[in-house]
Amino acid sequence: MKKHIARELKRSAEELAKTFSKPSRDYYSGQTFTLKECRPLSDHCAAVIYKLSGGKLVLALAFYKRTKKIEDPKNPKKKIDLWKWKIFFLSDSHILGLTSIAEIKEEIELYNFQFNFKEADPF
C-alpha cells in the first residue's frame, strides 16, 4: 500500500471512530470507538479493527475506490480521479459470502484468460 493511501486510510478510520462515538448521531450505541489497528489486505483493501469502550473489538472492511472525476485545478481541460476510503461494518453473513467470492473470481479469471489469445484481438 502506498504511503499516501495508508495515511488516508488511518485518517478515514479515525474520523469514522469519532463519528460513531458521537451521542448526537442516529443509532448511537452508547459506546465510544477507538481505532485499534488498520491491517492492509491489498493495495486498496484493509481490515480496520476498533475497540469499544465496553472492551469488545469490532471489525470493519475498508475499500479504497474512485468516487468521481473532477476538473484538474492545474489544467482545466484535464479530468482527475478522486479516491476515497469506504468503511463498512460486516455481519457474519457478509463475511461468509465474501469467503466464497475469491473462488468464483478465480474461475472467471481462468475463463477470461483464453480471450487474451483470440486472432481478432487488435492488441
| Cα gap 60→36, rounded to integer Å | 11
Query: Environment class of residue 85 by beta-carbon count within 10 Å: exposed (0-12), middle (13-18) or buried (19+)?
Result: buried
| Cα gap 86→27, rounded to integer Å | 19
The amino acid at 81: D
Residue 121 has pLDDT above 60, yes or no: no
- Alpha-carbon dihedral 39, 41, 43, 45, rounded to 10 degrees: -90
pLDDT tens per residue, range 97-115: 888 888 899 999 999 998 8
Extract the runs of DSSP E, i.e. beta strands, from the chain. 33-42, 45-52, 57-71, 79-89
> Mean pLDDT over residues 33-48, rounded?
96
The residue behind cell 451521542 is 23
Residue 122 has pLDDT above 80, yes or no: no
pLDDT value at position 120?
60
| Cα gap 42→100, rounded to integer Å | 18
Q: Of 5-9, 49-53, 73-77, which gets the smallest average pLDDT?
A: 73-77
* SS3 of residue 50 by DSSP: strand
Q: Of 10-19, 52-61, 79-88, which gets the smallest average pLDDT?
A: 79-88
On average, the pLDDT of the chain sits at 90
Q: Write down the pTM of the prediction.
A: 0.78
Confidence of residue 28 (pLDDT cuts 50, 70, 90): confident
pLDDT value at position 68?
82
pLDDT value at position 35?
98
Are 64 and 45 contacting, i.e. CB atoms less than 8 angstroms apart? yes
